[in-house]
Amino acid sequence: MKRVELLSPAGDMEKLKAAVMYGADAVYLAGKNYGLRAFSGNFAIDELTEGITYAHASGVKAFVTVNISGHPADFRELPGYLLELERSGADALIVSDPGILSVVKDVIPGMEIHMSTQSNITNAASCEFWHRAGAKRIVLARELTLEEIKSIRKEISDEIELEVFVHGAMCVAYSGRCLLSALYTGRDANRGECAQPCRWSYRISERKHEDAPVDLYEDDRGSYILNSKDLCMIEHIPELIEAGISSFKIEGRMRGVFYVSTVTKAYREAIDSYYADPEGYSFAPVLLDDLKKTVHREFDTGFFYSAPGTDAKISYDDTYIKGAKVVGIITGYDPVTGRAMVEQRNKISEGDRLEIVSPKGRHFTIKAKDLQDKEGARISATPHPKMLYSMAVRIPVVPGSFIRFPEEEK
């Protein structure tokens, strides 16, 4: 069986490069149109070509989302856009709309097609249907249990690849098909413009007493009856691989670069550890600790072990849990002087205890010392947003490493 693919989000160029550096086998990204994350940075066509070229140079594939539910106006410029995507070097397109799929087949018949989770594929018959229509890979609906996924794998052709989400935000709407955003804001979630009203706090009021609202869940921030937990399957790598899944997908094109890097690295290490010794594999709890240092909601296994409508409860009565505070990104290192160049993300001061997170290996702690501005003048702190400075780091580090406060000192 082929090794499982680790597929990471690339909301912009910085996140794409981080995903590649921290261990992704493939990335998924979007152009400025036709994708379901219209408010992430996304890529103009020339940027798309640059990003895909960068990924390919490291042996990483790039899949482009064209997964909106298309309206008539969307089809006017679609053929030309698809030709631009083909020229960009995209390895596959992720689609959900049958009409868009048919145009892809007509305009760029050699392009690999993946059916998006928005297609709501929950059974073997649907997998085979889309395969006959031209799809190589099926991104299964999040609402399937692991046992159902195993059943589907056994029933479908070996030529069909299965992809599942293993980490990140879950949606209260079935397969992400939600109308709340369009109803409340006019921003259509099914065309990439979701305003995430499921994350808002809500109150109810009696019609004749609208000036006296009541919280559904009593706290000082309102009620979060639609809010969902975050999916996290890092502790279940063997079961997922042995179920015959082809690709593990990380959600998060609108999340920060530290999130993309940390989550990609954690799953990379878990996957590699499993393949190194499947029989003797044991999960390393430090990887879950690493994931908890990202901004996240309470972790959950979603519907993998409990089907919708049973005892599964993915709703979450709170907002985000803040992770470790990132204070800088290393942009260069001089092994002769033992100094690292850093781009500031939060203020540090001389003497602060810090932790460095690199693409490979465990983190290590240092003390902030010998801080200098970019001209080489001594400074006692780094108060200016995105200022460039250098600091003494006696252990060699690679560009793209993060500097953060240890958890206990956030």
- Tokens representing 323 are 């992770």
Q: Are residues 331 and 295 in the same domain?
A: no
Q: Residue 260 above 90 pLDDT?
A: yes
What CA–CA distance (Å, rounded) separates 352 from 344? Answer: 14
Higher pLDDT among residues 409 and 359, named by residue: 359
In a domain, 181, yes or no: no
Q: Are residues 18 and 147 in the same domain?
A: yes
**What's residue 295's pLDDT?**
85
pLDDT, the chain, mean: 88
What CA–CA distance (Å, rounded) separates 326 from 262? Answer: 12
The stretch 105-133 carries a mean pLDDT of: 96
Q: Are residues 376 and 275 in the same domain?
A: no
In a domain, 307, yes or no: no
Dump pLDDT digits (tens) for 121-155.
999 999 999 999 999 999 999 889 999 999 999 99
Angle between helices 257-276 and 285-292 in degrees, nearest 10: 170
In a domain, 214, yes or no: no
Report the sign of the C-alpha dihedral through residues 177, 225, 41, 54, in that order.
negative
pLDDT > 90: percent of the chain? 69
- Residue 399 sits in a domain whose CATH number is 2.40.30.10
- Residue 22 sits in a domain whose CATH number is 3.20.20.70
Report whether 140 contacts 121 (CB < 8 A). yes
Higher pLDDT among residues 135 and 182, named by residue: 135
In a domain, 195, yes or no: no
The stretch 50-74 carries a mean pLDDT of: 94
The pLDDT-based confidence of 32 (bands split at 50, 70, 90) is: confident
In a domain, 306, yes or no: no
Higher pLDDT among residues 401 and 319, named by residue: 401
Q: Are residues 18 and 94 in the same domain?
A: yes
Instruction: Pick the last residue of a domain from 244, 266, 300.
Output: 300
The pLDDT-based confidence of 191 (bands split at 50, 70, 90) is: low
Range of the domain at 369: 326-409
Please tell me the total count of domains within the chain: 2
Q: Residue 320 above 60 pLDDT?
A: yes
Instruction: Pick the last residue of a domain from 300, 335, 360.
Output: 300
Angle between helices 98-107 and 78-88 in degrees, nearest 10: 60
Q: Is 386 left (phi over 0), alpha (psi -120 to 50) or beta?
A: left
Q: Are residues 127 and 273 in the same domain?
A: yes
What CA–CA distance (Å, rounded) separates 60 from 28? Answer: 11
Q: Are residues 291 and 376 in the same domain?
A: no
- What does the angle CA 44 – CA 50 – CA 56 come to, to the nearest 5 degrees? 130
In a domain, 309, yes or no: no
**What's residue 409's pLDDT?**
45
Report whether 391 contacts 372 (CB < 8 A). yes
Angle between helices 45-57 and 13-21 in degrees, nearest 10: 10
| Owner of token pair 């706290």 | 219
What CA–CA distance (Å, rounded) separates 394 from 374? Answer: 19
The stretch 160-173 carries a mean pLDDT of: 87
Q: Are residues 265 and 118 in the same domain?
A: yes
In a domain, 262, yes or no: yes
Q: Residue 318 above 70 pLDDT?
A: no
The stretch 257-286 carries a mean pLDDT of: 97
Q: Are residues 254 and 397 in the same domain?
A: no
Higher pLDDT among residues 149 and 200, named by residue: 149
Report whether 289 contacts 269 (CB < 8 A). no
Q: Residue 205 above 90 pLDDT?
A: no
In a domain, 187, yes or no: no
Q: Are residues 43 and 164 in the same domain?
A: yes
Dump pLDDT digits (tens) for 206-252.
667 677 665 554 444 444 455 678 899 999 999 999 999 999 999 98
pTM: 0.85
The stretch 70-93 carries a mean pLDDT of: 94
Q: Are residues 262 and 116 in the same domain?
A: yes
Instruction: Pick the last residue of a domain from 300, 315, 350.
Output: 300
Q: Are residues 147 and 76 in the same domain?
A: yes
The stretch 277-291 carries a mean pLDDT of: 96
Q: Are residues 81 and 33 in the same domain?
A: yes
